[in-house]
Amino acid sequence: MKIAVASEGKFVSGHFGHCEGFTVYDVDESKGLKKDFIQNPGHRPGFLPNFLKESGVNVVISGGMGETAQQLFAQNNIDVIVGAEGSCDDVVQQYLKGELKSTGSICREHQHEGHCHE
pLDDT digits (tens, 9 = 90+) for 75-96: 999 999 999 999 999 999 999 9
Q: Does a structural domain hold residue 85?
A: yes
**DSSP result, 66-85:** BHHHHHHHHHTT-EEEES--
SS3 for 17?
helix
- pTM attached to this predicted model: 0.89
Q: Does a structural domain hold residue 64?
A: no
> What are phi and psi for residue 65, nearest 5 degrees?
-160, 145
The domain containing residue 7 runs over which residues? 1-19+47-59+69-102
Q: Which one, of 115, 118, 80, lies nearest residue 101 by Cα? A: 80
pLDDT value, residue 44 = 83
Chain mean pLDDT for the chain: 89
Q: Does a structural domain hold residue 24?
A: no
Q: Does a structural domain hold residue 51?
A: yes
Count of domains for the chain: 1
Q: Does a structural domain hold residue 38?
A: no
Q: Does a structural domain hold residue 109?
A: no
Q: Please report, for residues 18, 32, 34, 42, the alpha-carbon distance to residue 45 in angstroms, rounded to integers and kept in the order given.
A: 11, 34, 29, 10
